[in-house]
Amino acid sequence: MNIVVLAGGNSTEREVSISSGQGVCQALRERNHKAILVDAYFGKESMDGELFSEKYDTEQAAAWMRKQSNNLEEVMKTRQEFFGPHVLEICQKADIVFLALHGANGEDGKVQSVLDLMGIKYTGCGPLSSGMAMDKGITKMVFEAKGVPTPKGMTLEKGECSSYLSDYGMDFPVIVKPCCGGSSVGVCIAHNQQEYGAALMEAFSYENQVVVEQFITGREFSVAVVDGKAYPVIEIAPLEGFYDYKNKYSAGSCVETCPADLPASLTKEMQMYAEKGYEALNLQAYARLDFLMEEDGSMYCLEANTLPGMTPTSLIPQEASVIGMNYPQLCEKLIEVSLKKYQ
């Protein structure tokens, strides 16, 4: 297949996206697909030459994308459009686009809407479900309505909310996070009023809506759901703090165990809630749902990630390896289940 791996973009998760895209592109080429890596935001300077060539240097393409990152802020000051030169033209020539974008403008349904309007096939969820899952406030409301356990919380608007937690009937500690951010960027734990004020300021520096929810002390888990079926549960145990941006992307900062060391009954329960959350948000193809579990076994679904990290060592590849699927096979599997949307 001729495949465009679309990565980069202009979100706070650009660098993670490039790593995902590089890994996916290389893996698909190992499976004899003609995959190329395209930067959604910076595009390609010309359409000269053969696009889907047998001879293609994925590392060189990723290095070029990382170099462009140095100019990202300057370009964003003067350019309004998201897609770079020739991006959509190139995508139209592919059999499918593998979305390796993360965060705003990639994971929130905007790119998916454009691709749908242009008749371009792509991996992952559609626009509506992507947008719902990206918004942690909406996700929380849907989970509560559909019986998926989630921490008590609320959505606050910048300039229209009280800075005192007691006004909302909640107690410390709480976790404060941007409503539509990813990779735990801007997420803070507040144990008292002073920390809460600082956490609100930090979260509101990213977005005009933030989610405040009861902080759950417990073990952290994640469950991939592929084509509606839950994969093995993985536990993430940060050596320090919680699973924030630093711990997610710093080598050796977490111990990841898959399958998680849990009684069979709790494993099945968590997988059941992962599938239920996937269904509640009307997700398609694949997603990853994150959980916290207290000592007594009470579990809470925090959010759904519709374009989760896809580096070779990311969580979903680890879960897939437990059921005998290597990384290149997983990349192919995600294309296979995504194509069902178009049947």
Domains by residue range for the chain, with CATH:
2-122 (3.40.50.20), 152-214 (3.30.1490.20), 217-326+337-342 (3.30.470.20)
Asked whether the CA dihedral 139, 144, 146, 148 is positive or negative, the reply is positive
Q: What are phi and psi of 272, to 5 degrees?
A: -65, -45
Which residue in the list 9, 10, 11, 13 is annotated as catalytic? 13
- Catalytic residue chosen out of the listed positions 290, 300, 319, 327: 290
13 has catalytic annotation: yes
| Stated pTM of the model | 0.91
Is 303 labeled as catalytic in the residue annotation?
Answer: yes
249 included as an active-site residue: yes
Percent of the chain residues past pLDDT 70, beyond the cut: 95
Residue 31 is among the residues annotated as catalytic for this protein: no
List the single range of 182-191, 258-267, 318-327 with lowest mean pLDDT.
182-191
Say whether 195 is catalytic.
no
305 is annotated as an active-site residue? yes
Residues contacting 186, CB < 8 A, separation 6+? 177, 178, 202, 203, 205, 206, 207
pLDDT at position 181: 65
Q: Which residue has the tokens 């390796």?
A: 100
pLDDT digits (tens, 9 = 90+) for 7-62: 999 998 999 999 999 999 999 999 999 999 999 999 998 887 889 988 899 999 99
pLDDT beyond 90 at 312: yes
pLDDT at 252: 67
Q: For the segment 73-96, what is each residue's pLDDT rounded down to a tens digit? A: 999 999 999 999 999 999 999 999
The active-site residue, picked from 108, 235, 244, 303, is 303
Q: Among residues 309, 319, 327, 338, which one is catalytic?
A: 309
User: Residues 213-219: what's their mean pLDDT?
Assistant: 94
Tell me, yes or no, if 41 is annotated catalytic: no
324 burial level (CB within 10 Å; 0-12, 13-18, 19+): exposed
Q: How confident is the model at residue 182 (pLDDT cuts 50, 70, 90)?
A: low
Instruction: Establish whether 183 is a catalytic residue.
Output: yes
pLDDT computed for residue 161 by the predictor: 87
> Per-residue pLDDT for 102 more than 90?
yes
